[in-house]
Structure 1
Amino acid sequence: MSSLAQQRDKRNYALHLLYTRQEFDECLKQIDKVLEETDGLCEYAIYIKALIMRHRGKIQESLQLFQQATAINPHNVANLKQVGRSLYLLGKHKAAVDVYEEAAKFGAPDWEIMHNKGLCFMYLKLYDRAIESFRVAIDIQPHDSTFLQLGKVYSMMDDYGQAINVYMEALEHSPENPEILTTLGLLFLRTNDNSRAFDYLSTSLTHDPRNPRTILAAGSIIQDHSDMDVALVKYRVAAVQTPNSPQLWNNIGMCFFGKQRYIAAIACLKKALYLGPFEWIISYNLGLVHLHTGQYASAFHYFSASVNLKPDFAHSYMYLAVTLARLDDFENACAAYEKAIQMAGAPGEPVFHLNYAILLYNQKQTDAARAHLAHFRSLFAELDEEARRADPEVAEQSALLGQLLGV
């Protein structure tokens, strides 16, 4: 090896050492000296400077430096990959794909190139091409991150079955990865398979007992089974890790609501709303608590906010109708019930018709009340035994209204 080559390698090693130690200021000083000595033609020095710029959030500057390094050595795949990465971080996904495709022409098949191409296609909403790229990346080298992104694409396409298959495949390679276990648990939760969801979330917690995302999901299942005290113990652990999570405070608030501690529930939900003002479910839950405690004007305010944030959730309109009825606004209450029934679609929600029938009876509109009661009974009869017994008050109200209407 020539003395010139030795000197270059020694210099590059010194820069690498400073970079890996994160002594960035000293590293940049040395880089400036090197670039001055080499008339700005030292590829490695430019490459390291670009990495430092990106680390400091100067993405545009880093892109220009990586492009400069690529101009010096156009066939260096590492430079091209970094140009693609910078374009991706700048949101220029189509340009990034072009660069990755250029990089793929050199050398052996590269997992990183295919994975990053998949990410670009995902953000461009070209889901089929994203799936194809992620699959090629997995064939080159299975990585947990690629499995997670592939499953995410299927979830974005509402193809939960395929997403579950992908995460199951991922577990064959990494059976103890908490993130995969949690994501799988959340998918089962989304598909209403609560027992399997809880199994995977519990397994995830054995490997990472303080993961707030997993605790939140597991706690919500426990909460759904009305075991509020156990759920609150779980949430206490999560609160140490993520004290400013609106979802966490929302769940804590609903635990207190389940325990009939209404002041604590409102306090926690208001904290959640402060942390996440655009989370519709928090406004919805605040509406429920205020409705339950007879604060109808406040309930109206929160249900209205919930409807504005998520206009396609039928139950918000139903509870808004109940609130308006308590505020003696019959006309708008009827409009809200009509909207709720329309949004519920076929076959419909039985309780919407029952509540509407009660309102109509109270307003002496007995014929319309009978029609909605009949609709309720036909829908209620189609439910399974467990669903019919879930809330005994529904059957009681139906029987009482039937007697009053002579049905």
Structure 2
Amino acid sequence: MAEDQQTAVSQESIVKKTRVKKAPELPILERRNWLIHLHYVRKDYESCKAVIKEQLQATQGVCEYAVYVQALILRLEGKIQESLELFQTCAILNPSSPDNLKQVARSLFLLGKHKAAVEVYNEAARLNQKDWEICHNLGICYLFLKDLSKSKEQLSLALQLHRQDLSAITLGKIQLQDGDTEAAIQTFMQALQLSPENTELLTTLGLLYLQNGMFQKAFEYLGNALTYDPSNYKGILAAGCMMQSHGDYDVALSKYRIAASSVPESSPLWNNIGMCFYGKKKYVAVWKSRKSITMKQY
């Protein structure tokens, strides 16, 4: 008898363990968030907006995630002011979220309100002091406000928090504006380590070395840029100039011919073509290229 009872208890415990547990129901505020996210990442914005509408009706408009995604979609549609108002609503619903404040600041930046964007980014930075993106965007805002000192400070801080080429490229450009070419080259070199196939960086370094008379290094970086992007206009023009200065007119013209197919309206390009023909003593061709420049200027 005791054995039978023990067997029954054992069987009951096994049934309880193997019984499929019912998934817990999500709170009403989050019930459709997964579906909103799914439609958004698939870029099915019409379906996403329909689910957002249902979610906001069910939650009386206080579902933070639904409002947040709706604001993102409005921004993609170019409705920046409406997007800003919704991100501000998110910040009210969850004032401790730095992401909400970052989006408010981003919308202000897109509206050209750079000073207001700085204030909101600073508020977001107080909530998260280790967010490189906040520092980077503050650097961009200060750049538009023409405060180059604070811009460099924030971009340098962004690079300390996270090594990425975006902040380094911007910082290097500011250093060039300040006339600090050596510091700019070092910054661009750091950026190139992070993004070795970045043709903009390779071309910029090539041009800087060319300006400083370091032709071997210039040729090396410009050559690498053209390897990754054979139609790179700036790289072609610079490489052609180097060859032209060394009297390799035919090689330079072959480079310029490639550039002319992508940028046929470039006056500097046609000027260089004319000088190549002049060097080859083909004066009729020089006249035609000069005529082409004149026509493009008027």
User: Quick check: TM above 0.5?
Assistant: yes
Q: Would the aligned equivalents of 2:30 and 2:63 in 1 still touch at CA under 8 Å?
A: no
Q: Would the aligned equivalents of 2:207 and 2:218 in 1 still touch at CA under 8 Å?
A: yes
| Shift in alpha-carbon separation, 1:270–1:48, aligned structure 2, 3 A | farther
Runs of 4 or more, structure 1, over 6 Å off, are none
Three-state SS of the structure 1 residue aligned to 2:192 is: helix
1:266 and 2:287 aligned: no
Q: Would the aligned equivalents of 1:152 and 1:163 in 2 still touch at CA under 8 Å?
A: yes
Deviation at 1:257, TM superposition (A): 4.3
1:22 and 2:34 aligned: no
Cα distance in 1, alignment partners of residues 54 and 255 from structure 2: 55
Structure 2: which amino acid aligns with 1:44?
Y
Q: Which residue of 2 aligns with 1:254?
A: 272
Q: Structure 2 matches for 1:113-128, cutoff 5 A? A: 113-128=134-149
Three-state SS of the structure 1 residue aligned to 2:153 is: helix
Deviations 1:210-248 (A, max 9, x none): 3333223323333333433323322343445x446x43x
Cα distance in 2, alignment partners of residues 29 and 214 from structure 1: 48
Q: Which residue of 2 aligns with 1:369?
A: none
Structure 1: which amino acid aligns with 2:25?
S
Q: Would the aligned equivalents of 1:253 and 1:267 in 2 still touch at CA under 8 Å?
A: no
Q: Structure 2 matches for 1:139-154, cutoff 5 A? A: 139-154=160-175
**TM score, norm. by length of structure 2:** 0.81
Deviations 1:71-128 (A, max 9, x none): 1111111111111111122221111111111111123500100111111111111111
Structure 1: which amino acid aligns with 2:227?
T
Q: Would the aligned equivalents of 1:28 and 1:49 in 2 still touch at CA under 8 Å?
A: yes
Structure 2: which amino acid aligns with 1:125?
K
Cα distance in 1, alignment partners of residues 173 and 271 from structure 2: 30
Q: Would the aligned equivalents of 1:220 and 1:251 in 2 still touch at CA under 8 Å?
A: no
Q: Would the aligned equivalents of 2:155 and 2:171 in 1 still touch at CA under 8 Å?
A: yes
Cα distance in 2, alignment partners of residues 115 and 16 from structure 1: 27
Cα distance in 2, alignment partners of residues 19 and 238 from structure 1: 40
Deviation at 1:133, TM superposition (A): 0.7
Deviation at 1:255, TM superposition (A): 0.7
Cα distance in 2, alignment partners of residues 189 and 40 from structure 1: 59
Q: Would the aligned equivalents of 2:236 and 2:255 in 1 still touch at CA under 8 Å?
A: yes
Q: Which residue of 1 aligns with 2:25?
A: 3
Of 182, 190, 206, 2:227 maps to 206
Cα distance in 1, alignment partners of residues 119 and 83 from structure 2: 18
Q: Would the aligned equivalents of 1:253 and 1:264 in 2 still touch at CA under 8 Å?
A: no
| Shift in alpha-carbon separation, 1:189–1:57, aligned structure 2, 3 A | farther
Deviation at 1:189, TM superposition (A): 3.0
Number of residue-to-residue matches in the alignment = 270
Q: Which residue of 1 aligns with 2:93?
A: 72
Cα distance in 2, alignment partners of residues 159 and 121 from structure 1: 19
Cα distance in 1, alignment partners of residues 123 and 229 from structure 2: 40
Cα distance in 1, alignment partners of residues 137 and 211 from structure 2: 28
| Shift in alpha-carbon separation, 1:19–1:263, aligned structure 2, 3 A | farther
Q: Which residue of 1 aligns with 2:60?
A: 39
Q: Which residue of 2 aligns with 1:196?
A: 217
Structure 2: which amino acid aligns with 1:250?
P
| Shift in alpha-carbon separation, 1:75–1:200, aligned structure 2, 3 A | same
Q: Which residue of 2 aligns with 1:12?
A: 33
Q: Which residue of 2 aligns with 1:159?
A: 180
Cα distance in 1, alignment partners of residues 199 and 103 from structure 2: 29
Structure 2: which amino acid aligns with 1:4?
L
Cα distance in 1, alignment partners of residues 40 and 208 from structure 2: 41
Q: Would the aligned equivalents of 2:168 and 2:191 in 1 still touch at CA under 8 Å?
A: yes
1:52 and 2:73 aligned: yes
Cα distance in 2, alignment partners of residues 272 and 144 from structure 1: 36
Where structure 1 has 5 or more consecutive residues not aligned to the other structure, the ranges are 275-407
Q: Structure 2 matches for 1:165-314, cutoff 5 A? A: 165-240=186-261, 242-243=262-263, 246-247=265-266, 249-259=267-277, 260=283, 261-270=285-294, 272-273=296-297
Q: Percent identity?
A: 43
Where structure 2 has 5 or more consecutive residues not aligned to the other structure, the ranges are 1-22, 278-282
Cα distance in 2, alignment partners of residues 41 and 145 from structure 1: 36
| Shift in alpha-carbon separation, 1:158–1:268, aligned structure 2, 3 A | same
| Shift in alpha-carbon separation, 1:217–1:254, aligned structure 2, 3 A | closer
Structure 1: which amino acid aligns with 2:269?
N
